[in-house]
Amino acid sequence: MPTEQSRLRLAGIVALVVALLVVATGLWTRQSRATQLKERAADAAVPTVAVIAPTRSAAGKLELPARIEAWSRAPIYARVSGYLKRWNVDIGAPVHSGQRLAEIEAPDLDQQLAQARAELATARANEQLAATTARRWQSLLDSDSVSRQEVEDRVGDATAKQATVKAAQANVERLQALAGYLKLTAPFDGVVTARNTDVGALINVGGAPGSELFVVSDIRRLRVYVNVPQRQVAQVAVGAKAQLIVPERPGQSFEATVVSSAQAISSASGTMLVQLSVANPKGELLPGGFATVRFDAPGEPGLAVPPGAVITSRAGVQVATVDANNHVKLATVTIARDLGNRVEVTGLGPDARVIDTPPDGVADGDLVRVAAPAKKEAS
């Protein structure tokens, strides 16, 4: 039979083995958890991205905001001071060239004209008297009754009186010309688009903006001004056709033609001013309004991506793509057109796998995880 000492030795060995097993199990569990944490950390370090394919944009479509102006616009100002006696046309009224718009009453101008005519009559009487006196003195010179100096004085006085008559006549004609401006007339056929005066209003001479009495506009044909970005300037040539769209007439478009351009790029906006003309026989288009001009410029459909996929940095404009091994490849592109919710770019292939909204700091060669496309719900 085992002795007491043997049993104690056996119990110690068993306890030691159990302790070693516990320690080994703890070390293995700890190592396993550390490995799992490393794997999770490495897995978390790989970002998950959504990949999209570039879409085809509409071929040759260029839409730009524009403003509409009358073909001819004439603000009518007063050339004489006075009071408005009457007006004959109101806003929206069609007028013809030379038609009277209003009449100004100027009593002080009438008095100035009467005074000028009286001064002209006095000058003519003095001129006739001086001329008669000069002829008489010239006849006395033949009989040596007067000196040559006295005769020349009389002739010079008659010449001066003639000049006085001409000055008085010019003054009368000037005041008569001013009196002609008492009647305001239309300079061409058109429509009265503004009337800023009324009967009895004090009229002052002026030409400052906002002081015009009437505005006459020719709206049978309109001018359309549009700022074309420098990148698309070559697509808009003189004679090119475009479609004009205005918000007050949805679903309707008007044909416009490019008639001229500024032939210079504005340093402030990076655009060139282009002028188009559009016929307006029915008066459907309104001068002063805003419009959209759509150019059907030639060209093949381009590739477009969402604005969030475009990266702008010191390296320029780039798009992050994913290769077959799920590594990032930064492609340098050029923005051709900004379509609002899409950006048309060049330098990108149609089969490229583009990262939609790439993470910050993404670089060439980074490993990424491509997210599975979202499943569409059954309708």
239 and 256 in a single domain? The answer is yes
CATH of the domain at 311: 2.40.420.20
Q: Are residues 337 and 272 in the same domain?
A: no
Please name the residue that has the structure tokens 């009647």. Answer: 183
- Report yes or no on 136 lying in a domain: yes
Residues 224, 277 share a domain: yes
Which of 251, 270, 296 is at the close of a domain?
Answer: 296
| AA identity, residue 158 | A
Instruction: Classify residue 63: in a domain, yes or no.
Output: no
Same domain flag for 228 and 292 = yes
Of 296, 330, 357, which closes a domain? 296
Same structural domain, 173 and 241: no
> For residue 116, what are the domain limits?
107-181
Residues 247 and 291 in one domain: yes
**Domain finish residue from 261, 296, 331:** 296
In a domain, 243, yes or no: yes
Tell me, yes or no, whether 346 and 289 share the same domain.
no
Specify the CATH number for the domain of residue 276.
Answer: 2.40.30.170
28-to-20, 33, 126, 339 alpha-carbon distances in Å: 12, 9, 136, 60
| Three-point CA angle 288, 289, 292, nearest 5° | 135
Strands (E), 230-342: 241-245, 254-261, 271-279, 290-296, 303-305, 310-313, 316-322, 328-332, 334-338
* pTM, 2 dp: 0.59
Q: Is residue 246 part of a domain?
A: yes
Does the residue 51 lie in any domain?
no
Verify that 283 and 268 share a domain, yes or no: yes
Question: How many domains are contained in the chain?
Answer: 3
Residues 264 and 322 in one domain: no
Whether 251 and 314 share a structural domain: no
Q: Examine residue 311 and state whether it is found in any structural domain, yes or no.
A: yes
Q: Are residues 292 and 312 in the same domain?
A: no
Does the residue 24 lie in any domain?
A: no
Residue 335 makes CB contacts below 8 A (sequence gap 6+) with 310, 317, 343, 344, 345
- Could you tell me the CATH number of the domain that includes residue 120? 1.10.287
How confident is the prediction along the chain (379 residues), in pLDDT tens digits per residue? 456 777 777 777 777 777 777 777 777 777 766 566 555 555 556 788 888 888 887 655 678 999 999 999 999 999 999 999 999 999 999 999 999 999 999 999 989 999 999 999 999 998 888 888 877 777 777 766 667 787 778 788 888 888 999 999 999 999 999 999 999 999 999 999 999 999 999 988 877 777 899 999 999 999 999 999 887 888 888 998 999 999 999 989 999 999 999 999 999 989 999 999 999 999 899 999 999 999 875 555 678 888 888 888 888 888 889 888 888 888 888 887 776 688 878 888 888 888 888 888 788 888 888 887 655 444 3
| 234, 279: one domain | yes
Residue 166: inside a domain: yes
